[in-house]
Chains A and B, each alone.
Chain A
Amino acid sequence: MPEIFIAFSYKDVLYLLQASLVTVALCAMAFSCGLVVALAIGLMRTARRVRVLRFVAAAYVEVFRGTPLLMQIFIAYFGLSIIGLQLPKFVAVSIPLILFTGAFMGEIVRAGIEAIPRGQWEAGWSLGMSYMQVMRWVVVPTAVRIMIPPSVGFLVQLVKGTSLAYVVGYVELTRAGYIVSQATYATMLVFTLVGLIYFGINYPLSLASQRLEARLKRHA
């Protein structure tokens, strides 16, 4: 092997693991902020008596779910810089991820809310509760349980989705793998390792969700 290449070593593994922390952090940030957006979208989409709210939320969902995340990141970073708004990479990657999460999770929230039988609403109302009180105390406790499996499904997608941040040169796990493979030419080895790390993040998520589901199901 020519001298200009650096041999693949444990240091590269550490570098990848470090980058995986960036992926996890990016994901955690996008998911938690996205959840706030999703909650608002879900509430708006189920607002039976306010048509404008439903329309705005539906339009939002269609746009951010109907276009590639890659393109959204592109526009946030390169597109906005054309009109003079140069966002830092982290922000340019975060905003599309948050909005993307808001759209997908918003639909999961809506489905969870709509799955609650009308009788539950009527029981709450007939006790004098307001719409938001029924939502908070009656609908949400049940809806959350319905939402767990699809939410974890989305979260797993999101972990992989953060790899798209590489297009703007933001160094997360995939970008780090690219850098290491360029330096060492151990491409297969590196990307197998990268794949394993993604799996190592996602598999515990699935397990945790199964546990949570089983625990919450006790009084379904």
Chain B
Amino acid sequence: MLKIENVHKWFGSLHVLKGISMEVARGEVVVVIGRSGSGKSTILRCVNGLEPIQQGRILVDGELVEAHSRHVRKIREEVGFVFQSFNLFPYYTAQENVSLALKIVKKVPPDQARGIAEQMLGRVGLSDKLAAYPDQLSGGQQQRVAIARALAMSPKLMLFDEVTSALDPELVGEVLKVMQDLAEGGMTMVVVTHEMGFARAVADRVLFVHEGQIAEEGTTEQIFSAPRNENLRSFIQSIL
């Protein structure tokens, strides 16, 4: 589903990704962990072309991702992206946030788009908030709307970029629950997170990114119980 081959990226003179290669199979849930600044979010942003890469290739379902190309829009329709800061559209209701892209990108008739939006919001437990504006919702609810918005496009792959990092602790659970349901429903997911409990419960595979490289990769069991990499060991200690 996703294939990343020897990807390098520079921000100016800063070498942030130093030869990343990874694959994600259909239906697989891959969790990416690492310290802040390690490049883990940048990997996600490159996958849907929000950031250009300078070397290597990224393929989504066999299609080459090229930032700034016209074609990348087609790929983005099929790749859901959920941001740390929600990025809901402030002057649209929850229902409109979810249906907007259906209407203008997929040209779904308004009635049908509204129906899909209601269904998706129901899926994330927000059937009673269809008409609410983002500023009337809690952080956890906003993030669930953002997930519904991405799901409405019926993506083949979902990318989650530290989606619970901006939330109050008591709101984290409701968002993780939605993500866990998705994972159990067979969605292909790449999740950048600091929620180790979630990683343990849901991940098929865990990648540890350190200084722009994948320093270790394995099952949840291997990563957390028998880390080989020195940096991974100290990282795990620091967060437990």
Chain A interfacial positions (CB closer than 8 Å to B): 49, 117, 119-120, 122-130, 133, 137-138, 141-142, 145, 219-220
Contacts and interface: CB of A to CB of B under 8 A. Distances in A.
A120 B134 CA distance: 13
A220 B83 contact: no
14 contacts: A119-B83, A120-B89, A122-B50, A123-B87, A125-B50, A127-B149, A127-B150, A128-B74, A128-B106, A137-B89, A141-B89, A219-B90, A219-B135, A220-B90
B96 to A, nearest CB: 10
Contacts of A145: 91
A127 B101 contact: yes
Interface string B79-112: 1110101011111100000001100111000000
B133 interface: yes
Interface string B133-145: 1111000000000
Given A127-B150, A220-B90, 6 more contacts: A123-B89, A125-B76, A127-B149, A127-B153, A128-B101, A220-B135
B66 interface: no
Given A119-B83, A142-B91, A128 B73 contact: yes
Interface of B: 48, 50, 68, 73-74, 76-77, 79-81, 83, 85, 87-92, 100-101, 104-106, 133-136, 146, 149-150, 153
A220 B134 CA distance: 9
A119 to B, nearest CB: 4
A interface majority secondary structure: helix
A133 B100 CA distance: 11
Contacts of A141: 89, 91-92
Contacts of B134: 219
Nearest to B77: A128
Contacts of B91: 141-142, 145, 219
Contacts, number: 69
Contacts of A125: 50, 73, 76
A130 B73 contact: yes
Nearest to A216: B91
B124 to A, nearest CB: 16
Contacts of A126: 48, 50, 76, 79-81, 150
Contact of B89 (A128, A133, A138): A138
B87 A127 contact: no
Nearest to B67: A125
B83 A133 contact: no
Contact of A129 (B68, B105, B135): B105
Interface centre among B85, B88, B91, B100 (most CB of A within 10 A): B91
Contacts of B83: 119, 122-123
Nearest to A129: B105
Interface centre among A127, A145, A220 (most CB of B within 10 A): A127
Given A133-B104, A137-B104, A220-B135, A128 B90 contact: no
A120 B135 CA distance: 15
Contacts of A123: 83, 87-89, 146
Contacts of A122: 50, 81, 83, 87
B5 to A, nearest CB: 22
Contacts of A129: 73, 101, 104-105
Nearest to A138: B89
